[in-house]
Amino acid sequence: MRKVLMIIACLAAAASLQAQPAGGFGGFQMPKIDVHCSEKFADIDYAGDGQVYHKLDVYLPRMQKASYPVVVHIYGSAWYSNNSKGMADLGTIVNALLDAGYAVVTPNHRSSQDARFPAQIQDIKGVVRWVRANADKYRFDASFVAASGFSSGGHLASLAATTGGVQELEGEVGGNLGFSSSVNAACDWSGPVDLNYMSCGGTTDTWNHAPEEAVMGFPFAGNEERFKALDATTYIDADDAPVVIFHGTADNVVPSCQAPHFYELLDKAGVRTELYMVEGGGHGFNMYTEYTLRSMTNFLDKVRTEKGGSFVTGTNPVITGAFSADPSAHVFNGRLYLYPSHDIPTVKYQGEQPWFCMSDYHVYSTDDLTHWTDHGNIVDQKDVPWGEPAAYSMWAPDCVEKDGKYYFYFPNAPKRGRGFGFGIGVAVADDPAGPFTIQENTVKGTGGIDPCAFKDDDGTVYLIWSGMGMRGGKLSADMMEIEGPAVRLDATFPKGQTEGPFMFKRNGKYYLTYPWVRLEGGTETLCYAMADSPLGPYEFKGVFMEESPTGCWTNHHSFVEFNGEWYLFYHHNDFSPDFDKNRSVRVDKVSFREDGTIVPVVPTWRGVGYFKASDELNIDRYSECVGAKVDYLDEFNYFAGWKTLFTQQYDRVRFNDVDFGAKAPSRFVARVRSEKGAVVNVTVGGRSKKVTVPACADWTVMEAKAKLKVTGMQDVTVELVSGSAEIDWVSFR
């Protein structure tokens, strides 16, 4: 490495001597493209020198957010162009990124005629520093800045990923030296990442090295060692940013062997990486499909969220920043932990139908069902030794504690594919949030999906799963094998599709609960049976949740007792109304009759969380609604939530269980929008106040005096008196 860095120092000196005013092969602009942005900021001088090769464009997504993660996307030109940001894959890669909620920065950079390497990567590092320095101005989320590029742009994006912290390549372009130039991820589209491997390891180098010779300033032959300074592969180490690689098998410009070569070196170094070889894909042609573009944004989403974070939500859905399904809830050490599956935008198809697509698991926890922690990625499909690394089959999981260890059971397709059935694996940790270590083999004696791990009062652990009916058995002492033959549990149950079993115990009775499609062509109900022992025999009792009112086909679930209350976690497709394979976890309270049977649960928007009157109360998550309508706040980003539309006199909603504390509020605050203004009646604890909503074409936070002499737990009702208005949230302060 030291030898390479000495070469870089010499190259940098040469680059400064050979730098020229703007020139090179550039300026060609593609025909006008419909870029999916809300705002564009063009021709920003990121270096402050007035040169065309130091201009960039900024595109912000159509979805409205306080800040956006950023991708710097770099055009391809064999390093010959200094002004091609206007043709930087705008209709394909850039639009896919914008639609996924990423701000996109497309920079120019110096060409091989303007300056020699490392000027080009120094420009890109200057762009990354500029992004972080200008985060507030352009609503960038400076905590996540990725690089992407096609061809030579893919080379520069890859180089940005592998050279974080390499001072010899840093440069001072644009200043902002107090900000990091390291990227958080990179997307390499058909990039030449190892110029010494262009002949794919052959003994004779027959490749035309003219483009790289131009950017380096000397011949390749006889200077192979010096050319390593240009290679992204030269700098690979375990601290590099994650990289996703796309390459066509029919690429006749950059040999396709570059991609698996890069992948193998990154993987060997322990760098997170994914490889997508596109059958029949050329150098750009036939490369940009729904599958590849969505795989790119899924990869970036996974990297961006893998470490988790904290969030607050007391209404349904529970998890508001990502899709989630199949929730398994447990209380460990007095804290509630939630182990759901993780739906992502699909890249899997069942025939021609888009299908369930899940590649990893996160774990969440809470003390109060309102303030949540996402502990991040705990198991990923690529890390399962026995599993197919691209099966996207990480379906409903479960977790159980035994002797101070936590065992996370999950299904996955084996390496030979789904056609040979599913296996059930296990990962083990010392803490319910991980880190988890995935075991080498599947659980012996099992085969199927949706494992449920149930621990009885005597410490015995049973595993229940779905596969040729619902089956179960006692787990061995090492938790890796079923003792004896598995027992069929549902042989006497009503006919129809079943899956997703969940077992719990209450007052000495065992409950086997499961999703059931009772009608031909219907969707799933939730039903249950009861028994006096964990492996039955069970007596079917009936349905405790009807089919989804949204038409969501599946509805997996779990029961948990927490702080003296029983809760049902389940899922609907709230954030994906047009595609029921992207689902969201919900929770509602459960009650039981004297004989132990379950009182049917009616799904609510309100959920079970705790709210103070001073919180922003999203009244669209109502407890009761008469007349008013609810719609999404942002048609481009359903995760932004909902709004309540009051259009007719007496439209009203009620939001229950709000804590007004010991001191009565004096002000009513709300985020509203109203074309001509409106009057609403706000009622709390039997006391009402008429509030005037001002005319405002855009969303506005309004305030009004509202001395409501109320304290303690109260319901809040908002009713339209006149006019019309949209309300996002209300608050009392």
CATH number of the domain at 28, please: 3.40.50.1820
User: DSSP code of 574?
Assistant: T
Q: Are residues 206 and 238 in the same domain?
A: yes
Per-residue model confidence (pLDDT) at position 707: 87
Per-residue model confidence (pLDDT) at position 351: 82
In a domain, 597, yes or no: no
Instruction: Output the pTM of the full model.
Output: 0.89
Q: Are residues 495 and 461 in the same domain?
A: yes
Q: Are residues 216 and 362 in the same domain?
A: no
In a domain, 438, yes or no: yes
What's the chain's Rg over C-alpha atoms? 29
Contacts of 700 (CB under 8 A, 6+ apart): 671, 672, 673, 694
CATH at residue 651: 2.60.120.260
Strand partners, 509: 506
In a domain, 311, yes or no: no
Q: What is the dihedral of CA 377, 70, 108, 30, to 10 degrees?
A: 100
**596 is written with which tokens?**
């132990």
Per-residue model confidence (pLDDT) at position 349: 85
Q: What is the C-alpha to C-alpha distance for residues 263 and 266, in angstroms, rounded to an integer?
A: 5
Contacts of 402 (CB under 8 A, 6+ apart): 455, 459, 461, 479
Per-residue model confidence (pLDDT) at position 420: 59
CATH at residue 553: 2.115.10.20
Per-residue model confidence (pLDDT) at position 26: 35
Per-residue model confidence (pLDDT) at position 206: 79
In a domain, 313, yes or no: no
Catalytic residue at 698? no
Q: Are residues 569 and 686 in the same domain?
A: no
pLDDT, average across residues 179-195 = 97
In a domain, 190, yes or no: yes
pLDDT, average across residues 370-389 = 96
Question: Residue 725: which domain range?
Answer: 611-732
Per-residue model confidence (pLDDT) at position 108: 98
Per-residue model confidence (pLDDT) at position 122: 98
Quick: pLDDT tens for 326-353. 999 999 999 999 999 999 999 888 887 8
Quick: pLDDT tens for 413-449. 999 766 558 999 999 999 999 999 999 999 999 999 9
Q: What would the 3-class secondary structure string for 539-551 be? A: EEEEEEECCCCCC
Per-residue model confidence (pLDDT) at position 2: 41
Q: Is the pLDDT of residue 106 over 80?
A: yes
Quick: pLDDT tens for 208-229. 899 999 999 999 999 999 999 9
Question: 203-212, 532-541, 679-688: lowest mean pLDDT where?
Answer: 203-212
Q: Is the pLDDT of residue 523 over 80?
A: yes
Residue 636 C-beta-side C-alpha neighbours within 13 Å: 17
User: DSSP code of 442?
Assistant: P
Q: Are residues 228 and 188 in the same domain?
A: yes
In a domain, 601, yes or no: no
Q: Is the pLDDT of residue 267 over 70?
A: yes
Per-residue model confidence (pLDDT) at position 418: 60
Q: Are residues 183 and 119 in the same domain?
A: yes
Q: Which of 239, 273, 303 is the last residue of a domain?
A: 303
Angle formed by the axes of helices 119-133 and 152-162, nearest 10°: 70
Q: Which of 590, 622, 657 is the last residue of a domain?
A: 590
In a domain, 616, yes or no: yes
Per-residue model confidence (pLDDT) at position 419: 59
pLDDT, average across residues 473-493 = 96
Q: Are residues 261 and 286 in the same domain?
A: yes
Q: Are residues 87 and 136 in the same domain?
A: yes
What share of the chain has pLDDT > 90, as a percent?
89
pLDDT, average across residues 258-285 = 96
Per-residue model confidence (pLDDT) at position 3: 39
Quick: pLDDT tens for 283-292. 999 999 999 9
Q: Which of 303, 334, 351 is the last residue of a domain?
A: 303
Please state, rounded to an integer, the average pLDDT across all residues of the chain: 93
Per the residue annotation, which of 499, 524, 588, 726 is the catalytic one? 499
Q: Are residues 94 and 166 in the same domain?
A: yes
Catalytic residue at 499? yes
pLDDT, average across residues 106-118 = 97
In a domain, 412, yes or no: yes
pLDDT, average across residues 142-161 = 98
**676 is written with which tokens?**
């001509």
What share of the chain has pLDDT > 70, as a percent?
95
pLDDT, average across residues 70-90 = 95
Number of other residues whose CB lies within 10 A of the CB of residue 5: 15
Strand partners, 405: 402
Q: What is the C-alpha to C-alpha distance for residues 715 and 622, in angstroms, rounded to an integer?
A: 10
- Report yes or no: 344 and 358 within 8 Å, Cβ to Cβ: yes
Q: Is the pLDDT of residue 629 over 60?
A: yes
Q: Is the pLDDT of residue 19 over 90?
A: no
Q: Are residues 357 and 298 in the same domain?
A: no
Q: What is the C-alpha to C-alpha distance for residues 52 and 57, in angstroms, rounded to an integer?
A: 12
Q: Are residues 105 and 163 in the same domain?
A: yes
Q: Are residues 238 and 96 in the same domain?
A: yes
Per the residue annotation, which of 194, 274, 326, 490 is the catalytic one? 326
Q: Is the pLDDT of residue 511 over 90?
A: yes
Count the domains in the chain. 3
